[in-house]
Amino acid sequence: MKKVLGLLLALSLVTFSFAKTSIVAPKKPAKLNANQVMIPVGKNGETVSLFDLSRMKVKDLEAMTGTKMKLSDKVGYAIAQKQLRNSINSDGTINNKKLNKIAAKADTGSGFHLGGFALGFLLGLIGVLIAYLIKDDKKAARVKWAWLGLAAWIVILLIALVL
C-alpha cells in the first residue's frame, strides 16, 4: 500500500510540475485612420477619404459625382454623414466595429490579383494551396483569384473535352 501511495504522490507531483498556464492578451486590431481609407466617388474613378466624406457638403459631392441629388437623397446623405462623423474619433481613427471591418476589407485590395489567377490557372489545385500558404496583406485577394483561375482552367478543360 505504501508503494502505491508513493507512486500516486510521485505521479501527481510530476504532473503538477509540468503544468503551465499562460494568459495571453488578445491583440487589439490596429485602428484605421479615416484619412487613409479612400472611397471611389463619381464616374471618373475619383477617390475621397472617409474623413473628407464625413465633412463634405452636398454641393461638393454633387460636383464630384457630376449628378444632381434629389431632396430625399440629400436628407439621406445628411443622416449617413452624421453617423459617419460619429464613427470617427477626434484623432481620425474609426471607432465603429462594422465600419472598421469594412474599411479593412477595402484596404486589402480585393480587386483582380494576377498572381493568384496565374497560380490557380497554371498550377491548378497546387497553385490554390500555394496561395493559401503565402502570408501578406493581399492574401484574401490572391486566394480568391487562385480559385477563380482554377475554375477557369476547369471550364476550358471541359470545353476542350466536349469539342
pLDDT of 110: 54
pLDDT band at 16 (very low <50, low <70, confident <90, very high): low
Q: Where are the domains of the chain?
A: 38-107, 114-162
C-alpha cell at 153: 482552367
Mean pLDDT to the nearest integer, 46-61: 87
Mean pLDDT to the nearest integer, 28-44: 74
DSSP state of 94: B
- Cα distance between residue 123 and residue 129, in whole Å: 10
Pick the more confident residue, 142 or 109.
Answer: 142
Q: What is the 3-state secondary structure (H, E, C) of 29-93?
A: CCCCECCCCEEEECCCCEEEEHHHHHHCCHHHHHHHHCCCCCHHHHHHHHHHHHHHHHCECCCCE
> 95, 127 in Cβ contact below 8 A?
no
pTM above 0.75, yes or no: no
pLDDT tens profile 79-137: 888 888 888 888 888 887 777 676 666 554 557 788 888 889 888 889 899 999 988 87
Q: How far is CA 37 from the centre of its chain?
A: 13
